[in-house]
């Protein structure tokens, strides 16, 4: 069986061919293309026209296919008019137009009530808050999230795949349906929300192949592609532009403790719940390199490895790190504000970012254990960040659990294997999918060292007021 995964990430997109058979899955990347924010009339936007053209070119290069599946980052959307035409290029979630929007929405539906239904983390860029800043709702007939927009472009089909719909804040996490009551109360007409689709449904045909609904939220596909075992309680860290750290649950956890702990419930493949925290992620590092005009990630990591351990740390989730800009200056300012010395050399700046990320993962993991009442025994780091050995090692130490790093291509694997299953491959459940991933990829284990230095670091940072 030969299927293609189109995987659109915030900094690059790719088309990957997956071949499934003989107890293995193999991937070949056929096309990779850059992605990023573009200036669209004073608002940061996505150039979906270019992304879709690149995706189609990649699918053509892929040759004959048995299936096509599409995933991308979450929360962003395009609005279509009654003729199915896109009103404007979709806005980028890092645009500042959402400033003040959470408060405006919470005045209509209190935050705790929103959480009790949708269970999402109240991040300013979540779809429901973006829609509060939207000027085109009256002219729009349909809202499509990014992967659904590409499915529409390829097949004409209109729908919303559930894993990504669950990130909007307009989805009823328990019922698995749109939360139409909430939508109407926050001023989003129910007519905009298209029929929901589940993984495995055939959505249409493109280039002679069925387009199959996969976990269209990249993180949902990545979590499926994490080589976890059913007999060992695990957490995952989908490590890319964003860091999504969480656990897999059988059903949503919509408690006040989960909300106040900063965790969101997102729908996983096969009706699971991904209880996770969205941590700012490698964005802070890539923006730092961009500010330096450098593309030398390996060099930056090597200098961080040589820099002294346990220097200054920052709250990577502070809103100031969200928009594009001069990260080294923001890091220095955050260190000054908390009475810490500023990192001096570039190696120290990178070390500060990595230790701050590891500390954020540690705090999230402890919080997850607290709200679920389950101790985590292993952390699966998947995605591009699994290649970052220094960060994986720091994460193992900070979290006090073994880190299993890999696969880097967990998202594409999750995408490919949901298609393969829908097309008849013998993969009875998600554990069978994960077993196949484990059998087909190289993994690296990072064992934790003595955690006492991290206890001290966290205490020092807390006393300095790093988290406010």
Q: Please report where in the chains the tokens 């192949």 appear, as a residue.
A: 209
CB distance 20 to 417 below 8 Å:
yes
Phi, psi for 259 (deg, rounded to 5): -65, -50
Q: How far is the CB of 240 from ligand LRH (least distance, A)?
A: 6
| # residues near ligand LRH by CB under 6 A | 13
Q: How far is the CB of 342 from ligand LRH (least distance, A)?
A: 29
CB nearer ligand LRH, residue 278 or residue 372: 278
- Per-residue binding string, ligand LRH, 49-68, x by CB under 6 A, is --------------------
CB nearer ligand LRH, residue 99 or residue 459: 99
d(CA 202, CA 211): 6
Helix boundaries (H) for 373-425: 389-399, 410-422
Please pick, among 218, 315, 317, 397, the residue that the annotation labels catalytic.
218
Helices and strands counted in the chain (H then E): 17, 21
- Per-residue binding string, ligand LRH, 215-254, x by CB under 6 A, is --xxx--------------------xxx-x----------
**Is residue 218 annotated as a catalytic residue, yes or no?**
yes
Residue whose CB is nearest to ligand LRH in the complex, by number: 73
d(CA 254, CA 143): 26
d(CA 443, CA 409): 12
Q: How far is the CB of 244 from ligand LRH (least distance, A)?
A: 5
Interface of this chain with ligand LRH, residues 69 to 108, rule: CB under 6 A? 73-75, 93
d(CA 109, CA 324): 30
What is the rounded (10 degree) CA torsion for 101, 103, 104, 108? 130
Residue 421 contacts ligand LRH per CB under 6 A: no
Phi, psi for 388 (deg, rounded to 5): -85, 90
- Per-residue binding string, ligand LRH, 190-219, x by CB under 6 A, is ---------------------------xxx
| CA-atom Rg of the chain in angstroms | 21
Read off the tokens for 160: 């919303």
Give the bridge partners for 18, in sequence order.
3, 27
Q: How far is the CB of 104 from ligand LRH (least distance, A)?
A: 21
Interface of this chain with ligand LRH, residues 249 to 278, rule: CB under 6 A? 278
Binding site for ligand LRH (CB under 6 A): 10, 73-75, 93, 217-219, 240-242, 244, 278
Catalytic residues: 218
């Amino acid at each position: 069986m030969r299927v293609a995964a189109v995987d659109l990430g915030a900094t690059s997109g790719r088309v990957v061919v997956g071949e499934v058979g003989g107890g293995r899955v193999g991937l070949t990347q056929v096309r990779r293309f850059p992605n990023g924010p573009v200036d669209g009339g004073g608002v940061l936007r996505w150039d979906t026209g270019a992304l879709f053209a690149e995706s189609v070119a990649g699918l053509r290069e892929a040759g004959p296919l048995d299936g096509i599946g599409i995933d991308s980052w979450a929360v962003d959307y395009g609005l279509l008019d009654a003729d199915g035409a896109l009103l404007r290029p979709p806005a980028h979630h890092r645009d500042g137009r959402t400033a003040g929007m959470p408060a405006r929405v919470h005045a209509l539906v209190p935050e705790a009530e929103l959480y009790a239904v949708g269970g999402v983390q109240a991040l300013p860029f979540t779809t429901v808050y973006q829609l509060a800043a939207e000027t085109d709702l009256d002219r729009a007939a349909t809202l499509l999230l990014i992967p659904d927009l590409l499915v529409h472009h390829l097949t004409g089909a209109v729908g919303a795949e559930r894993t990504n719909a669950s990130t909007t804040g307009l989805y009823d996490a328990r019922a698995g349906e749109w939360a139409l009551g909430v939508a109407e109360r926050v001023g989003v007409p129910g007519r905009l929300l298209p029929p929901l689709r589940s993984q495995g449904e055939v959505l249409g045909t493109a280039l002679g192949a069925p387009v199959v609904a996969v976990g269209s939220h990249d993180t949902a596909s990545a979590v499926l592609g994490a080589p976890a075992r059913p007999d060992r309680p695990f957490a995952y860290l989908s490590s890319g532009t964003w860091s999504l750290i969480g656990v897999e649950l059988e059903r949503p956890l919509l408690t006040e403790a989960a909300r106040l702990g900063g965790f969101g419930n997102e729908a996983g493949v096969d009706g699971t719940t991904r209880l996770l925290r969205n941590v700012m992620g490698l964005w802070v590092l890539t923006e730092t390199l961009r500010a330096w005009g450098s593309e030398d990630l390996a060099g930056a990591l090597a200098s961080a490895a040589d820099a002294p351990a346990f220097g200054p740390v920052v709250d990577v989730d502070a809103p100031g790190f969200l928009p594009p800009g001069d990260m080294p200056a923001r890091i220095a300012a955050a260190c000054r504000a908390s009475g810490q010395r500023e990192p001096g050399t570039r190696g120290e700046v990178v070390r500060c970012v990595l230790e701050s990320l590891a500390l954020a993962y540690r705090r999230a993991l402890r919080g997850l254990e607290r709200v679920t009442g389950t101790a985590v025994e292993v952390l699966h780091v998947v995605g591009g960040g699994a290649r970052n050995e220094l960060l994986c090692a720091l994460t193992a130490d900070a979290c006090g659990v073994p880190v299993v790093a890999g696969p880097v291509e967990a998202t594409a694997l999750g995408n490919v294997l949901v298609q393969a299953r829908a097309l008849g491959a013998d993969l009875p459940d998600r554990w069978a999918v994960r077993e196949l991933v484990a059998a087909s990829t190289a993994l690296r284990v990072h064992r934790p060292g003595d955690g006492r230095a991290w206890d001290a670091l966290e205490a020092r940072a807390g006393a300095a007021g790093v988290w406010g």
